[in-house]
Protein backbone atom coordinates (compact mmCIF):
# COMPACT_ATOMS: atom_id res chain seq x y z
CA UNK A 1 0.00 0.00 0.00
CA UNK A 2 1.73 3.08 -1.28
CA UNK A 3 -0.14 5.54 0.92
CA UNK A 4 1.91 8.58 -0.07
CA UNK A 5 0.00 11.45 1.44
CA UNK A 6 -0.24 14.89 -0.12
CA UNK A 7 1.48 17.69 1.82
CA UNK A 8 -1.20 19.35 3.99
CA UNK A 9 0.24 22.81 3.41
CA UNK A 10 0.14 22.35 -0.33
CA UNK A 11 -3.39 21.06 -0.04
CA UNK A 12 -4.39 24.09 1.99
CA UNK A 13 -2.84 26.46 -0.52
CA UNK A 14 -4.43 24.80 -3.50
CA UNK A 15 -7.81 24.72 -1.83
CA UNK A 16 -7.54 28.49 -1.54
CA UNK A 17 -6.79 28.87 -5.22
CA UNK A 18 -9.39 26.26 -6.13
CA UNK A 19 -12.14 28.42 -4.83
CA UNK A 20 -13.85 30.10 -7.71
CA UNK A 21 -12.86 33.78 -8.22
CA UNK A 22 -10.22 33.82 -5.51
CA UNK A 23 -7.30 33.52 -7.90
CA UNK A 24 -8.65 36.24 -10.15
CA UNK A 25 -9.23 38.59 -7.23
CA UNK A 26 -5.67 38.16 -6.03
CA UNK A 27 -4.30 38.52 -9.55
CA UNK A 28 -6.27 41.71 -10.06
CA UNK A 29 -5.14 43.16 -6.75
CA UNK A 30 -1.50 42.61 -7.73
CA UNK A 31 -1.83 45.79 -9.77
CA UNK A 32 -2.62 47.83 -6.67
CA UNK A 33 -5.38 48.72 -4.19
CA UNK A 34 -8.82 48.74 -5.72
CA UNK A 35 -12.35 49.39 -4.65
CA UNK A 36 -15.29 47.07 -4.51
CA UNK A 37 -17.19 48.24 -7.56
CA UNK A 38 -14.05 48.31 -9.69
CA UNK A 39 -13.38 44.69 -8.81
CA UNK A 40 -16.89 43.63 -9.76
CA UNK A 41 -16.55 45.43 -13.10
CA UNK A 42 -13.13 44.11 -14.03
CA UNK A 43 -13.53 40.55 -12.79
CA UNK A 44 -17.17 40.04 -13.65
CA UNK A 45 -18.11 38.69 -10.26
CA UNK A 46 -21.36 39.51 -8.48
CA UNK A 47 -21.41 41.70 -5.41
CA UNK A 48 -22.65 38.84 -3.32
CA UNK A 49 -19.70 36.59 -4.06
CA UNK A 50 -17.11 39.36 -4.12
CA UNK A 51 -18.20 40.38 -0.66
CA UNK A 52 -17.98 36.81 0.56
CA UNK A 53 -14.56 36.22 -1.00
CA UNK A 54 -13.06 39.46 0.28
CA UNK A 55 -14.22 38.72 3.81
CA UNK A 56 -12.62 35.35 3.53
CA UNK A 57 -9.35 36.68 2.13
CA UNK A 58 -9.26 39.30 4.85
CA UNK A 59 -9.77 36.63 7.48
CA UNK A 60 -6.83 34.73 6.03
CA UNK A 61 -4.58 37.77 6.13
CA UNK A 62 -4.28 38.00 2.36
CA UNK A 63 -6.19 41.23 1.86
CA UNK A 64 -6.80 44.38 3.91
CA UNK A 65 -9.86 46.59 3.78
CA UNK A 66 -9.50 50.34 4.26
CA UNK A 67 -12.38 52.78 4.63
CA UNK A 68 -11.98 56.35 3.38
CA UNK A 69 -14.92 58.34 4.77
CA UNK A 70 -15.33 60.54 1.74
CA UNK A 71 -18.52 61.18 -0.14
CA UNK A 72 -19.57 58.78 -1.31
CA UNK A 73 -17.58 56.44 0.86
CA UNK A 74 -14.50 54.88 -0.71
CA UNK A 75 -13.33 51.48 0.43
CA UNK A 76 -10.15 50.00 -0.89
CA UNK A 77 -8.94 46.44 -0.87
CA UNK A 78 -5.24 45.78 -0.96
CA UNK A 79 -2.98 42.74 -0.78
CA UNK A 80 -0.96 42.14 2.36
CA UNK A 81 2.58 40.83 2.16
CA UNK A 82 1.16 37.33 2.33
CA UNK A 83 -1.13 38.12 -0.56
CA UNK A 84 1.50 39.85 -2.61
CA UNK A 85 3.85 36.94 -2.22
CA UNK A 86 1.50 34.94 -4.43
CA UNK A 87 2.83 36.94 -7.36
CA UNK A 88 5.30 34.22 -8.45
CA UNK A 89 2.40 31.77 -8.57
CA UNK A 90 0.38 34.11 -10.73
CA UNK A 91 3.38 34.80 -12.92
CA UNK A 92 3.84 31.10 -13.60
CA UNK A 93 0.17 30.67 -14.43
CA UNK A 94 0.52 33.61 -16.79
CA UNK A 95 3.60 32.07 -18.41
CA UNK A 96 1.91 28.73 -18.85
CA UNK A 97 -1.20 30.30 -20.34
CA UNK A 98 0.87 32.22 -22.90
CA UNK A 99 2.46 29.01 -24.10
CA UNK A 100 -0.40 26.55 -23.89
CA UNK A 101 -3.72 28.33 -24.17
CA UNK A 102 -4.98 28.96 -27.64
CA UNK A 103 -6.20 32.58 -27.74
CA UNK A 104 -9.02 31.63 -30.12
CA UNK A 105 -10.79 29.11 -27.94
CA UNK A 106 -10.07 30.95 -24.69
CA UNK A 107 -12.77 28.82 -23.18
Partner DNA sequence: TTCTTTAGTTACTTTATGTAACCAATTATA
Partner DNA sequence: TATAATTGGTTACATAAAGTAACTAAAGAA
List residues near DNA by CB under 7 A.
19-21, 35-38, 45-49, 51-52, 54-55, 65, 69, 71-76
Residues 17-48: b if buried by 16+ CB within 10 A, e if exposed: eeeebbbbbbbbbeeeebebeebbeebebeee
Indicate whether 95 belongs to the interface with its own copies (CB under 8 A).
Answer: yes
The minimum distance between CB 18 and its own copies, in angstroms, equals: 5
Render 27-43 in DSSP notation, one character per residue: HHHTT--EEHHHHIIII
Contact residue for its own copies among 19, 40, 56, 64 (CB under 8 A) = 19
The minimum distance between CB 90 and its own copies, in angstroms, equals: 8
Contact residue for its own copies among 68, 71, 73, 103 (CB under 8 A) = 103
Amino acid sequence: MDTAIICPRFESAISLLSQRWTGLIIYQLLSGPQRFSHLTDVIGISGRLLSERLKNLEAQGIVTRTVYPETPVRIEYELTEKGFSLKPVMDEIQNWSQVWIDPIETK
